[in-house]
Structure 1
């Protein structure tokens, strides 16, 4: 995952002003730049609930309360959560039983969480600190275009 990929993501999103179109393309772009994933997508915050947005992968949970599961906890804590083994994460929500590790990056605008970028893998300990940095940089780009 290179700076060039992030530049490509930015160029892709700059060309469009519609947030759902940009989230859809961002999910496809990121899903296809990383290996060993089974799900990558967005949940958007409405009140105290995350609602499923554009994604790549199998069908997913449609609503996640803030504070529940990895996604809801990332919103409540307002920080990225990288989980090596989701089965060891208290309160994990299993939308796909094949998922073994997960990383969730909050999307923030004007200091407030507006949603999350959620990435799952069927491999234990799939996500490195470098993956986290890449996804956090991607999230900063996405935030500007939704």
Structure 2
């Protein structure tokens, strides 16, 4: 039903197609775990050069790992630590070309070299973050950021 190998066109066009697939996946489903699991799998298998894609949810104090694709991950991340904590506390997408140069980076997987983290905010409430890691330096560009922010928005909209 969902074929990620059929993405065509420019990178923005491919992200538009992927966002449409994401909308179809979450249509009529409000459970955040189910939607996070499906969206993590969709993105992980659709985009090249990723070694981790997943969600961290805010429990009121810190970020707690949710559904993901990739190697086992850090379970809890304080809001004042790492790229995920920065995205969550600042509520601004973090696109990091070299995670080793990011102050306070948390190395859950030593193979990760670049990272993109989109905050998930519903109204005024922090829901969590959508986190992508790559073994390549500077893997993520502005098109990736815009496309992944759109997919994160699909997730938040599905929460109702």
Same fold, judged at TM 0.5 (above): yes
Please say if 1:90 is aligned against 2:90.
Answer: no
Unaligned runs of 5+ in 1: none
Q: How does 1:41-80 map to 2 (within 5 A)?
A: 41-80=54-93
Note the alpha carbon deviations across 1:95-134, whole angstroms, 9 max, x for none.
Answer: 0000000000000101222100000000000001000000
SS in 2 for 1:2: helix
Partners of 1:78 and 1:109 in 2: CA distance: 11
Deviation of residue 7 (structure 1)?
Answer: 1.0
Name 2:7's counterpart in structure 1: none
The Cα offsets for residues 37-86 of structure 1, whole Å up to 9 and x where unpaired, read as: 00000000012200000000000000000021000011111100000000
TM-score (normalised: structure 1): 0.97
Alpha-carbon separation, structure 1, partners of 2:84 and 2:118: 8
Q: Counterparts in 2 of 1:106-125, with a 5 A limit?
A: 106-125=119-138
Structure 2 gap ranges (5+): 1-13
Deviation of 1:22 after TM superposition, in Å, equals 0.8
TM, length-normalised to structure 2 = 0.88
For 1:17 and 1:87, locate their aligned partners in 2 and report how far apart those are by CA, in whole Å.
Answer: 37
Bigger drift between 35-44 and 16-25 goes to: 16-25
What is the aligned partner in structure 2 of residue 141 from structure 1? 154
Bigger Rg, structure 1 or 2: 2
1:32 aligns to what SS in structure 2? Answer: helix
- Of 16, 32, 41, the residue aligned with 1:3 is 16
Runs of 4+ aligned structure 1 residues displaced above 3 Å come to none
